[in-house]
């Protein structure tokens, strides 16, 4: 359907943006085949107690993304 194609197009654009800059403070390091599930990272901001931190996040996008928030879980 049209909605599914637009959903996939939007996800592809966002994944490409988040994987393009390897020095970014937020990005993706593994995308699963469905492109709805991936592992992301967040680097701790400078001049904060989290500076130098590297935080891994599991992300799953729902079918109605971006109209509903993604499911996210910090990995330990």
Q: What does each C-alpha distance from 10 to 32, 36, 44, 54 come to in angstroms? A: 16, 11, 27, 27
Q: Is the separation of the CB atoms in 15 and 38 below 8 Å?
A: yes
pLDDT at 6: 83
Q: Are 26 and 18 in contact (CB under 8 A)?
A: yes
pLDDT band at 14 (very low <50, low <70, confident <90, very high): confident
* pLDDT per position as a tens digit, 30-62: 899 888 999 999 999 999 999 999 999 999 998
> pLDDT (tens digit, 9 = 90+) per residue, 61-71?
988 888 889 99
Half-sphere exposure of 50 (CA within 13 A, CB side): 7
The predicted model gives 20-34 an average pLDDT of 87
Predicted confidence (pLDDT) at residue 19 exceeds the cutoff of 90: no
Q: Distance between CA atoms of 76 and 12, rounded to whole angstroms?
A: 27
């Amino acid at each position: 359907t049209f909605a599914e194609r637009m959903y996939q197009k939007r996800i592809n654009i966002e994944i490409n943006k988040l994987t393009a800059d390897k020095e970014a403070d937020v990005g993706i390091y593994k995308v699963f085949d469905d492109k709805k599930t991936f592992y992301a990272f967040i680097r701790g901001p400078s001049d904060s107690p989290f500076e130098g931190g590297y935080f891994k996040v599991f992300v799953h996008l729902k079918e109605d993304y971006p109209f509903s928030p993604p499911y996210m879980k910090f990995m330990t």
